[in-house]
A and B are shown apart, each in its own frame.
Chain A
């Protein structure tokens, strides 16, 4: 059974860089798209972007200037960096695997709070 687990600091200072890693178990990271999706408290879902196992990326234009995603196939991990964070970036961040049509597997989510 595939499992995804987010890890990283739960508190990030304003203007600094948010860094999260997703560890994939129960399957290979190869040959799939891997996404980051976030959800502010009480609000809807926002797609941040995706990375293919080869390293090619697509980012949400609304965040593109601040987002970097990377993949480490040897560790079965992929990562998110979001720079110059503000309070508006406070959210639960999910890592997820995109199948042929939709997001099939999700991590449990990790709350990241941005505060000065």
Chain B
């Protein structure tokens, strides 16, 4: 199985901050990396697919990038509605695997 290691597991930030979350794959996965946002009691929501493509309807303050087996989700200016848990997921091979999650909390 491909292991996805996310960091940090949690962070505290203020509205307007730039936030960066990293996900590292245990082997090469090309650009087969997706990012999801999950709020308490809700299903995850797709933000970014194929490492850097913005899902329709997702604000442009969210962006994704890649460098080898390292992937980054960036929120350029954190908004109140962005406080949530974020997960990466590889879709390169089955079993599809998720990172452990990053909880973004209010400072």
Contacts and interface: CB of A to CB of B under 8 A. Distances in A.
Interface centre among B46, B53, B95, B98 (most CB of A within 10 A): B95
A47 B101 CA distance: 14
Given A45-B87, A102-B34, A102-B89, A61 B95 contact: yes
Contacts of A45: 44, 87, 89, 98, 101
Nearest to B4: A44
A62 B43 contact: no
B14 interface: no
A106 B43 contact: yes
Of A58, A103, A104, which is in contact with the most chain B CB atoms at under 10 Å from its CB?
A: A103
Interface string A100-116: 01111011110000000
Nearest to A104: B46
A104 B48 CA distance: 10
Residue of A50, A58, A101 contacting most chain B CB atoms (<10 Å): A101
B97 interface: yes
Interface residues of B, number: 24
Contacts of B45: 106
A102 B49 contact: yes
A45 B42 CA distance: 13
A44 B50 CA distance: 21
A103 B44 contact: yes
A47 B44 contact: no
Interface string A65-95: 0000000000000000000000000000010
Contact of B43 (A50, A102, A108): A108
Nearest to A94: B43
Contacts of A109: 43
Interface of B: 1, 32, 34, 36, 42-46, 49-50, 53, 55, 87, 89, 91, 94-101
Enumerate the 8 nearest inter-chain pairs by beta-carbon distance, A residue then B residue, closest first: A106-B43, A102-B34, A101-B49, A60-B95, A102-B49, A47-B96, A45-B98, A58-B94
